[in-house]
Chain A
Amino acid sequence: MLEVKNLSAQVEGSEILKGINLTVKAGEVHAIMGPNGSGKSTLAKVIAGHPAYEVTGGSVSFDVNRKPVDLLELDPDVRAKEGVFLGFQYPVEIPGVTNVDFLREAFNEVCAHQGLDKLDDAQFKSLVREKLKLLDMDERFLERDVNAGFSGGEKKKNEILQMAILNPRLALLDETDSGLDIDALRIVSKGVNAIKSRFNAIVLVTHYQRLLDLIVPDYVHVLYKGRIIKSGDKSLALELEKKGYDWLIAEAEEKH
């Protein structure tokens, strides 16, 4: 579904990604781990098309109607409409736009692009209500302005709510677990697990094993200085939890 080949990217002249290779198939959950500043968030943002990052080499292909398409050629909104979703580490506050208007706007854009019928107001509201329940969210959320004055946990829940409504094929969740207490983490994980299916894939960017206890990854990759230095299964995350990153970094630097 997603094929990242030798991807390098820079922001404001400094190179962050230095040749990333990553293959993600439908139905899989991948975890991207690594020390601060290793390029984890950058990778997610580059795939989603953040304009501040410049791709300097490599390719990203994404299957659309079972055919690979050059994702880097598509505008960010088109990537979203084709089923790429980025859950933000720091969701943006938009005072003056209500959550429900924002959700409806996004949902209609995605439906129109994918050739699906628009839902009428009642149908849309009932879809939203169902997803709110999944995330233990109050209906009053809908009339509040997007993320404005939300607590950290509310913002992250709101990201997963958007994901649940847009139903993406590839979800990139950038540190969705940071700033969550145990209860919120459980609710968010429950939401992600409910959305997970054999038709979609999830890439989790995270620092912590505790998220991976709740959303179990098929693959774990360790990113360091813009390269994946180690890939493995879920046991790799457990090993990292015990031993930290130093041994891997030493191993990688020896090779160079």
Chain B
Amino acid sequence: MTTIGVLALQGAFREHIRSVEASGATAVIIKRKEQLETIDGLIIPGGESTTMRRLIDQYGFLEPIRAFANAGKPVFGTCAGLILLAGEIDGSYDAHLGLMDMSVRRNAFGRQRDSFETDLDIKGVADGYNAVFIRAPYIERVGENTEVLATYDGHIVVAQEDHLLACSFHPELTKDHRLTAHFVSMVENSKRTLAS
């Protein structure tokens, strides 16, 4: 059975758990770094990126998550999670996990009153996907090994770099589990590759 952990320091982790389970994998809440050893893939959920970074530091998650990803295990960052994965934030290289070659802008669509939902086509994953953007970031630029899977209004909102996946919106807030299912299949593939 494929086990996917959801980093549960703050934010919408329970919804991710439900979404992972609906996609046919086992989901566990991750509150301590030692638990990373028990999972095949990790989701970093939406929440407040500043708050999450502080808690990541406090509980010594930074290096263990980097090591987890560098060992080839898939990581999926949504909204705040995308910000944590990015190598460049708001034009500064003072990144958090810095795992993905992309530059992101925080609160890029504006304040809460500008938050919105829309229907997106995600390349190779889903058409007409109900995407919920909440004080969302977008990706300004991706490196040459990072594939753009979806854009909205000319801005990149889903990107994948090998076993790392990031999106600006909240796949956990709707009953449309297709993007989570895509991540689950990434984890299943990596599990097979890592085992062989």
* A in complex with B: no
